[in-house]
Amino acid sequence: MSEKAKWYVVHTYSGHENKVKANIEKIVENRGMEDVIHEVLVPTEDKVEIKNGKKKIKQKKIFPGYVLVKMIMNDESWYVVRNTRGVTGFVGPGSKPIPLTDEEIKNMGIVEAMPEIDVVVGDTIKVTSGPFESFMGVVKDVNLEKHTLKVLISMFGRETPVELDFTQVQKL
């Protein structure tokens, strides 16, 4: 049973998105369903607000009243999500949830399948983008789950540890 997990949109009571996310994650953990329900997401963006002359960055929900769930759809996963407190239903005609298309996922800014990297601890890399672009460094740690590398970069005559994304480096 090697079904591919797909993204589904779940409708929630407005203002309950984070609670629903936490509830689904707790149920998944308690029931050991990590292999069926992979990820729960409340899409947010950073908004800069100026109050009393002070700049504040607030996280604003992009789709209030909706939560995205990456899961393999079967009777159990459907039942668990559908019956989570705060969920009013899946988005789709009638009772049949419809997964998001690849184009919809891309338009929402959900990044799928991060690139694998053939770098190991001790390799020398070149930074290809970001604030440390064109710097060289030595890999000290590889985090496959977060898709990041800890790299020692020589800056101002001393070794400085920085965390970089897999997409920001190239092996030399």
What's residue 1's pLDDT?
A: 43
Tens of each residue's pLDDT in the chain, 172 residues: 457 889 999 999 989 999 999 999 999 999 999 999 999 999 888 888 888 888 888 888 888 999 999 999 999 999 999 999 999 999 988 767 899 988 888 787 776 555 567 888 999 999 988 888 999 999 999 887 677 899 999 888 899 999 998 888 888 8
What's residue 116's pLDDT?
A: 64
What's residue 111's pLDDT?
A: 60
CA-CA distance, 27 to 63, in Å (whole number)?
23
pTM score above 0.85? no
Element (H, E) at 160: strand 158-165
What's residue 51's pLDDT?
A: 81
> Tokens 């998001």 belong to which residue?
100
Is 150 exposed, middle or buried (CB count within 10 Å of its CB: 0-12, 13-18, 19+)? middle
> Tokens 């079967």 belong to which residue?
74
CA-CA distance, 72 to 6, in Å (whole number)?
6
CA-CA distance, 113 to 6, in Å (whole number)?
12
User: What domains are defined for the chain?
Assistant: 6-107 (3.30.70.940), 124-171 (2.30.30.30)
Condensed to tens digits (0 to 9), the pLDDT of residues 9-35 reads 999 998 999 999 999 999 999 999 999
Is 78 exposed, middle or buried (CB count within 10 Å of its CB: 0-12, 13-18, 19+)? middle
Alpha-carbon dihedral sign for residues 101, 107, 111, 117: positive
- Copy the structure tokens of residue 125: 């890399």
Element (H, E) at 107: helix 102-107
Phi/psi at 28 (nearest 5 deg)?
Answer: -60, -45
Distance of alpha carbon 96 from its chain centroid, rounded? 25
What's residue 94's pLDDT?
A: 72
